[in-house]
């Protein structure tokens, strides 16, 4: 790894997505030269990357990039990487990265190492089989594309002396933009599990949709997102967007609180890379306790109100 | 509409993973293999579109002889044709995508449908790779799809919401749970599928672009402090979350 291109995505007018800062941090730790690449974003948002040690950002300018198109973005990034002879591309394995990283690897005839949770100067580690095993993977090609599992690489502050913003004009035509995003429907009002730092999840142990107020109250106290097991999503108690697991979302928050969830392998597949796990279950032999850092063997209906009250006291709420 | 559905065979989700003696793959002894769960949504979508617009559904997989089983499932669900590209090794996503793309080029499908991920390597790579090799647009993790003439309108899951996208045929999509409710093959169809032909195509040689150096089982670094539900024990846990884990 000599020269890494890190793909940057703005979150709002002031900042980039956390996954972009994570990618910068991961790239910086390899010791290679880094250039940020973006297709949109205000100057303030792009400059915020200086906080994490980035010194150079290049913004691609082209009318076909005004409306997001995964194919146009992939083409623009690939053209830029070739123009500066970069040997490494680092992209978050979020919803955007899942579409563009594999495409870019084909364009650059590069090895693609997806969903890495450790990155070194010449290889990476990644979970496979839903986290039941991990593999050490190396690329056999001069150029390599890595995508990084979100929330695993903690973004570390390391302010750079300054940051310059340059521009790049890719050569694009309509054939590069055959798919376009025409609108984005946000889940208003509540935090999504894939973006939350703390998640409080409920399972069948809650006994009915009406009892999820216990989960919502605790989530409210902690500023957390509400998650769910598949059993309760399939039963219609909770929306599919909250499902954590193999057929739901993969999450790795700092704290995952599993309430009345047994810990089936398919559920663990989505949350076992959480930094800390607290499980509450009345069955002391529930498999969830095998992956938990902290566990309370007890009835959710009794434990959750007490837990909420203690947390409120601690947080001064 | 001619539809190519690419499917894969994966270990059952409850498999206990052990590393094989080669040190880079899983020990297949006693492992039950199934049709990748997301590919059921892909097959169902292909079949529903054929029912609506006419045409054919071809199911294709890359793998060894044992993969004929999932092709038979696809035939039992209603696929018109099944193709096996015989490659036991499946070295990396690229080599699989390359082989599928070469066959797809001879078929000119209007739509290619895949599952959003194979639950073995969880790479989410196949749809965009295949699309790029074929010079086509793609939409990953589609939870809703409408096709009107050549125009495709789809919704896909993103962090914190959904994206609404437009594209045109020919196109590659990958299916998310919720796109449809996969049908169960009926017993007579399962029986009939047993005698349907499966076209076998020899592996097309490719160079793998990535190599697995080693596979390991993850070591749990969990604290594992399990306690009772008394008020003082709950207080201790709250304190530990604050002072030991420092997460609140
Ligand atoms: C292909 C496939 C994919 C799947 N994908 C997913 C997925 O993405 N996500 C997912 O979650 N599951 C998934 N599953 C389903 C999974 O196997 C389990 O069925 C599911 O996770 C169980 O949900 P649960 O833990 O809420 O329910 P249960 O397994 O019924 O567990 C309920 C738990 O609550 C406890 N409990 C009961 N009452 C109380 C109480 N009063 N207080 C405290 N504890 C109590 C019980 O001891 C039990 O442990 C998948 C399955 C398959 C086959």
A165 and A280 co-located in one domain: no
A167 and A18 co-located in one domain: yes
Examine residue A181 and state whether it is found in any structural domain, yes or no.
Answer: no
Examine residue A187 and state whether it is found in any structural domain, yes or no.
Answer: no
* Closest to A35 (Cα-Cα) out of A5, A74, A1, A79: A5
User: Are the Cβ atoms of B238 and A307 closer than 8 angstroms?
Assistant: yes
Summarised one tens digit per residue, pLDDT across range B89-140 is 888 999 999 999 999 999 999 999 999 999 999 999 999 999 999 999 999 9
Examine residue A99 and state whether it is found in any structural domain, yes or no.
Answer: yes
Number of domains chain A contains: 2
> What is the pLDDT tens value at each position of chain B, 248 positions in all?
999 999 999 999 889 999 999 999 999 999 999 999 999 999 999 999 999 999 999 999 999 999 999 999 999 999 999 999 999 988 899 999 999 999 999 999 999 999 999 999 999 999 999 999 999 999 999 999 999 999 999 999 999 899 999 999 999 999 999 999 999 999 999 999 999 999 999 999 888 999 999 999 988 789 899 999 999 999 999 999 999 999 99
For residue A245, the enclosing domain spans 198-315
A145 and A67 co-located in one domain: yes
Residues within a 6 A CB radius of ligand 1: A 203-205, 229-232, 243-248, 260-262, 264, 266-267, 270, 281-283, 286, 299-301; B 13, 37
**How large is the ipTM?**
0.95
A129 and A216 co-located in one domain: no
Query: How does A42-78 read in b/e, with b if 16+ C-beta sit within 10 Å?
Result: eeebbbbbbbbbbebbbbbebebbeebbbbbbbbbbb
Torsion sign across C-alpha atoms A120, A249, B115, A10: negative
- Atom in ligand 1 nearest the alpha carbon of residue B13: 1
Domains (range + CATH), chain B = 2-202 (3.40.50.620), 218-248 (no CATH)
Examine residue A71 and state whether it is found in any structural domain, yes or no.
Answer: yes
A10 and A82 co-located in one domain: yes
CA A15 distance to own-chain centroid? 16
Q: Residue A270 sits in a domain of what CATH number?
A: 3.40.50.1220
Strand locations in chain B, DSSP E? 2-6, 9-11, 33-35, 56-63, 81-86, 111-115, 138-148, 151-158, 161-168, 171-175, 199-202, 210-216, 225-227
Calculate how far, in angstroms, residue A186's C-alpha sits from the geometric centre of ligand 1.
28
Q: Residue A94 sits in a domain of what CATH number?
A: 3.40.50.620
A144 and A228 co-located in one domain: no
Calculate how far, in angstroms, residue A265's C-alpha sits from the geometric centre of ligand 1.
9
Question: Do residues A296 and A303 make contact, with C-beta atoms less than 8 angstroms apart?
Answer: yes
To probe the interface with B, which of A12, A99, A130, A295 has the most B CB atoms within 10 Å?
A99
User: Are the Cβ atoms of A192 and B121 closer than 8 angstroms?
Assistant: no
Judged against a pLDDT cut of 90, whether residue A195 lies above it is answered with no
- Atom in ligand 1 nearest the alpha carbon of residue A245: 8
CB atoms near residue B222 (< 10 Å) = 16
A7 and A95 co-located in one domain: yes
Integer angstrom CA distances of residue A298 from A236, A268, A293, B232: 25, 20, 16, 13
Calculate how far, in angstroms, residue A261's C-alpha sits from the geometric centre of ligand 1.
5
The per-residue pLDDT for B221 is 80
Residues 6+ apart with CB under 8 A from A87: A1, A2, A3, A4, A142, A143, A144
- Atom in ligand 1 nearest the alpha carbon of residue A246: 8
Q: Which residue CA neighbors atom 9 of ligand 1 most closely?
A: A245
Cα B61 to Cα B71: distance, rounded to the nearest angstrom: 7
* Closest to A249 (Cα-Cα) out of A203, A192, A291: A192
Calculate how far, in angstroms, residue A61's C-alpha sits from the geometric centre of ligand 1.
48
Residues of chain B contacting residue A246, judged by C-beta atoms under 8 Å apart: 13, 37, 119
A55 and A160 co-located in one domain: yes
Examine residue A11 and state whether it is found in any structural domain, yes or no.
Answer: yes
A68 and A112 co-located in one domain: yes
A33 and A145 co-located in one domain: yes
* Cβ contacts from A onto B, under 8 A: 271
A26 and A147 co-located in one domain: yes
Examine residue A182 and state whether it is found in any structural domain, yes or no.
Answer: no
Residues of chain A contacting residue B221, judged by C-beta atoms under 8 Å apart: none
Judged against a pLDDT cut of 80, whether residue A189 lies above it is answered with no
Output DSSP code: residue B146. Answer: E
Which strands sit side by side in the sheet containing B151-158, from one edge to the other? Answer: A179-186, B161-168, B151-158, B138-148, B171-175, B111-115, B2-6, B56-63, B81-86, B199-202
The per-residue pLDDT for B205 is 80
* Closest to A119 (Cα-Cα) out of A211, A202, A23: A23
User: Are the Cβ atoms of A114 and B124 closer than 8 angstroms?
Assistant: yes
A95 and A137 co-located in one domain: yes
User: Are the Cβ atoms of A114 and B226 closer than 8 angstroms?
Assistant: no
Examine residue A127 and state whether it is found in any structural domain, yes or no.
Answer: yes
Of the residues A144, A176, A208, which one is the last residue of a structural domain? A176
Of the residues A176, A207, A237, which one is the last residue of a structural domain? A176
């Amino acid at each position: 790894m000599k020269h890494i291109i890190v793909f940057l995505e703005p979150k709002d007018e002031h900042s980039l997505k956390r996954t972009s800062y994570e990618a910068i941090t991961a790239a910086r730790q390899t010791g290679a030269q880094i250039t940020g690449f973006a297709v949109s974003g205000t100057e303030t948002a792009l400059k915020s990357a200086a906080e994490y040690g980035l010194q150079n950002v290049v913004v691609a300018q082209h009318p076909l990039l005004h409306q997001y198109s995964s194919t146009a973005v992939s083409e623009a990034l690939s053209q830029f990487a070739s123009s500066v002879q970069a040997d490494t591309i680092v992209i978050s394995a979020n919803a955007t990265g899942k579409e563009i990283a594999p495409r870019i690897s084909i364009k650059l005839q590069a090895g693609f190492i997806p969903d890495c949770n450790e990155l070194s100067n010449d290889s990476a580690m990644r979970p496979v089989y839903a986290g039941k095993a991990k593999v050490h993977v190396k690329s056999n090609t001069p150029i390599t594309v890595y995508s990084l599992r979100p929330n695993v690489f903690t973004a570390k502050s390391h302010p750079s002396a300054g940051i310059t913003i340059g521009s790049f004009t890719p050569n694009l035509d309509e054939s590069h933009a055959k798919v376009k995003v025409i609108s984005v429907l946000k889940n208003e009002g509540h935090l999504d599990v894939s973006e939350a730092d703390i998640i409080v999840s409920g399972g069948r142990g809650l006994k009915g949709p009406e009892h999820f107020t216990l989960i919502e109250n605790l989530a409210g106290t902690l500023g957390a997102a509400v998650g769910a097991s598949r059993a309760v999503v399939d039963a219609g108690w909770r929306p599919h967007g909250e499902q954590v697991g193999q057929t739901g979302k993969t999450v790795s928050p700092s704290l995952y609180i599993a309430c009345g969830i047994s810990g089936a392998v398919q559920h663990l597949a989505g949350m076992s890379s959480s930094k800390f796990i607290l499980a509450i279950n009345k069955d002391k032999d529930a498999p969830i306790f095998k992956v938990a850092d902290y566990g309370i063997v007890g009835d959710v209906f009794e434990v959750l109100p007490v837990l909420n009250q203690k947390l409120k006291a601690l947080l001064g709420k | 509409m001619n539809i190519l559905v690419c499917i894969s065979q994966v270990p059952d989700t409850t498999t206990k993973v052990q590393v094989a003696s080669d040190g880079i793959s899983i020990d297949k002894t006693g492992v039950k293999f199934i049709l990748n769960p997301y590919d059921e949504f892909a097959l169902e979508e292909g079949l529903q579109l054929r029912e609506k617009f006419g045409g054919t559904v071809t199911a294709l997989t890359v793998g060894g002889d044992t993969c004929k089983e999932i092709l038979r499932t696809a035939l039992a669900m209603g696929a018109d044709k099944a193709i096996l590209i015989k490659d036991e090794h499946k070295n990396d996503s690229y080599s699989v995508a390359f082989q599928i793309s070469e066959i797809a080029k001879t078929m000119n499908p209007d739509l290619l449908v895949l599952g959003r991920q194979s639950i073995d390597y969880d790479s989410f790579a196949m749809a965009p790779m295949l699309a790029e090799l074929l010079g086509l647009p793609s939409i990953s993790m589609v939870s809703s799809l409408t096709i009107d003439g050549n125009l495709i309108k789809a919704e896909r899951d993103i962090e914190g919401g959904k994206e609404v996208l437009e594209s045109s045929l020919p196109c590659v999509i990958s299916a998310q749970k919720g796109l449809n409710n996969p049908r169960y093959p009926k017993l007579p169809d399962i029986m009939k599928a047993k005698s349907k032909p499966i076209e076998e195509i020899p592996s097309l040689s490719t160079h793998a672009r990535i190599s697995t150096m080693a596979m390991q089982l993850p070591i749990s670094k969990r604290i594992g402090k399990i306690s009772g539900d008394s008020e003082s024990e709950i207080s201790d846990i709250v304190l530990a979350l604050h002072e030991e884990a420092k997460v609140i």
